[in-house]
Chain A
Amino acid sequence: MNSFHPPRTVHVLFGAISTDEKGSLTRLIRAELLKLRTTRLSYGLLATAAGLTALFSVLEASRAGSGKAVAPLYTAAGFNAVITGGVWALLLATVLGVTVSSGEFRHATATQTYLATPRRGRVMAAKAVAAACAGAVFGLAGYVIAAGTGLIFVAARGYHVPVGDATMARYGIGHVIAAALLAAVGVALGSLIRSQLAAVIGVFVWAVVVESLLGGLFNAIQPYLPYTAATTLAGSSLGGAAFGPAHDAATTAAPLPFAAATALIAGVAILLSVVAARTTVPRDVT
């Protein structure tokens, strides 16, 4: 007789799941997606991601080739810098994930959510999947805007596109996967740190300050920093999306391969989810 065997991590996180319960998990995911679709914050974050991506891509495309340090658009490096504008979609997908979980405490809606589904691990799993779906939309939007900006500028200047179709496709898929997984990381973070403001600030400080500093100081670990790995998955050069010392640092390190970067970010999402499920999630809701 065939039976469904979920991976061990699913057991660890949420207990054994029967076929009936898979149906209820699907329903919970639909409820979480409906929550996302019925608040303006989701659309506001998507618009912010789109706007910042457009702004940074246009700025990079405009200044491409204007000096020694800025590669021209007919080189892969120059085109790459324009695509890097899409990392704003990754950051804002993380923020969306944070709001999906911490928002339940900000607005005290956790009470009704847990009354409907007292098994809190299952709520968290549904939130992670729903946030990942929304994150994928953010990633796709970021890619379309960043790549579109690059292609328009390339065409306007009469260049040939410096990267092949396969690479372009990889950048697109990388954007979608990276943003989806980072949104799931955001859900876990927002479950660990119930204060929405603190968690959102934490995301920006980690991505913009901590990883930039660590990546600049220790080039060898730069590829393994999770946000940096997500940006390279989305097509950015190693350190290309960083600020300060790590930005295009003279590094001998290579970015993680596609599958390894995907596994790394998924691993971070699972690890943080397990920690949250064991510590903050079961706490009293008063």
Chain B
Amino acid sequence: MSVIEVSGLTKRFGPVLAVDQLSFAVEPGEVVGFLGANGAGKTTTLRMLLGLVRPDAGTATINGHAYADLPEPLHQVGAVLEASSFHPGRTARNHLRVQALAGQADPSRVDGVLELTGLTGAADRRVGGFSLGMRQRLGLATALLTDPDLLILDEPANGLDPDGVQWLRDLLRGLAAGGATVLVSSHILAEVAQTVDSVVILDRGRLVAQSSLADLTAGAGNLEDAFFKLTREAFR
């Protein structure tokens, strides 16, 4: 069974067709890049997959269930959607304590994920004073609290410095080596090309390609060339 199955997913915001009849699947253990320009519908798709936005048509399931029907959802899926969704007045440690309680995680994991994401020294500082990169790390720490088998990451490299990007790449490779499935959205193609096994490419809400990285780049040289070739073809 596919870990993620998206079928005929459609969402309209007023006059804008954000996601249009989108279908794709992600298999266990894959690291999949979810690619598209800004506004291509990546974030809306991920939010529908996670039950935050209601689709107008179609379905999106994780392990065969809609997100809202997953028992203990955080134990199956860890998600990082935006780097700013923290209460600015709460410390990083207290944020993680709240999420551990709500998500039924072992509270003793809080210190572990702080260390894993390099935030131990900042644990008792209020998040309001955090840089974008530190927020990204805290978002990842939150997602990893429950040790899920599936990670859904929306532009996780945003705001990370070169060291942070390197660290994120190693983290994702480590998780993949441990058998985790990862769906990671990005518009920075060169970065994704170093991490993923396969890609799902989106353009103006529609699927333009789902393919292994090797197949995609075989005819086009590199991922960037392949991406532009495909999205330009779709435009015609």
Query: Which residues of A line the B interface, CB within 8 A?
Result: 27-28, 30-31, 34-35, 38-41, 103, 107-119, 282, 284-286
Contact = CB atoms under 8 A, between A and B. Distances in A.
Given A116-B73, A286-B47, A111 B101 contact: no
B90 A282 contact: no
Given A107-B87, A284-B52, A285-B47, A115 B98 contact: no
A111 B84 CA distance: 10
Contacts of A107: 85-88
Q: Is the interface of A mostly helix, strand, loop or mixed?
A: helix
Interface of B: 44, 47, 50-54, 67-68, 70, 73-74, 77, 79, 81-82, 84-91, 94, 97-99, 101-104, 142
- From B85, B88, B97, name the one whose CB has the most chain A CB atoms within 10 angstroms: B85
Nearest to B43: A286
B98 A35 contact: yes
A103 B54 CA distance: 22
Contact of B94 (A38, A115, A118, A284): A38
A182 B79 CA distance: 35
Given A27-B101, A286-B47, A112 B142 contact: yes
Contacts of A41: 89
Given A35-B90, A285-B53, 8 more contacts: A27-B104, A31-B102, A34-B97, A38-B90, A39-B90, A107-B88, A115-B50, A286-B44
A46 to B, nearest CB: 15
**10 closest cross-chain pairs (CB), A and B:** A118-B68, A38-B94, A116-B102, A31-B102, A31-B101, A108-B85, A284-B53, A285-B52, A116-B103, A118-B51
A119 B73 CA distance: 11
Nearest to A28: B102
Nearest to B74: A116
A117 B72 CA distance: 8
A103 B87 contact: yes
Given A38-B91, A109-B85, A285-B52, A115 B74 contact: yes
A27 B89 contact: no
19 contacts: A27-B104, A30-B101, A31-B98, A34-B98, A34-B101, A38-B94, A39-B89, A107-B88, A109-B87, A114-B51, A115-B50, A116-B73, A116-B99, A116-B103, A118-B68, A118-B70, A118-B73, A119-B68, A286-B47
A115 B79 contact: yes
Contacts of B73: 115-116, 118
A257 to B, nearest CB: 40
Contacts of A35: 87, 90, 98
A282 B87 contact: no
Nearest to A111: B85
A280 to B, nearest CB: 13
Contacts of A38: 90-91, 94, 97-98
A107 B87 CA distance: 6
A39 B98 contact: no
Contacts of A39: 87, 89-90
Contacts of B102: 27-28, 31, 113, 116-117
Contacts of B88: 107
A286 B81 CA distance: 10
A111 to B, nearest CB: 5
A109 B94 CA distance: 14
A27 B105 CA distance: 11
A286 B74 CA distance: 19
Given A116-B73, A117-B102, A111 B86 contact: no
B53 to A, nearest CB: 4
A38 B44 CA distance: 31
